[in-house]
Copies of this chain bind each other. A is one copy, B any other.
Amino acid sequence: MHTTTIHVRWGELDPYNHVNHAVYSSYLEHARVAALEYADRGLDTLSDAGLQIVVVRSDVRFRAPATAGDELTITTKVAEVRGASMVWEQHIHRGDEAIVSAEITAAVLTGGRPSRIPDDLKAVLTVLG
């Protein structure tokens, strides 16, 4: 499991004075990329090896609103590694309070086409479990 911190920016709020729900998808992506970088498999490194990781399904539950100045903690883990895809489980908290929970399914592409996950990437993803 990997943990990242996000500082909410005022410009990410909408007229309800809360973080716009679409912004959380960016926060979650940032946290997944940070987890991969932590494991030395940043998206740049993967791209150099001809690999892309693309989201195929995003299931997000919004539990409480966040607002300007909030410091949010995102926990990220790989819940499942399949042959050609993986499922990420992520939670955003403000202190003890649950803000967002998400299950993100992503596929691996090689040369732009769906492909089996190479063994060394599979090993890294398993460590992030």
List A residues at the B interface (Cβ < 8 Å): 7, 9-17, 20-23, 25-26, 29-30, 33, 37, 42-44, 47, 52, 54-62, 65, 67-69
Contact = CB atoms under 8 A, between A and B. Distances in A.
B58 A57 contact: no
A117 B99 CA distance: 24
Contacts of A52: 16
| Interface pairs A-B: 4 shortest CB-CB | A22-B25, A9-B30, A21-B55, A22-B26
Count this chain's copies in the assembly: 4
Given A16-B52, A57-B61, A29 B21 contact: yes
A94 B11 CA distance: 22
Given A16-B52, A37-B69, A57-B61, 11 more contacts: A9-B29, A11-B22, A11-B26, A13-B14, A14-B15, A21-B29, A22-B29, A42-B68, A43-B68, A58-B58, A59-B59
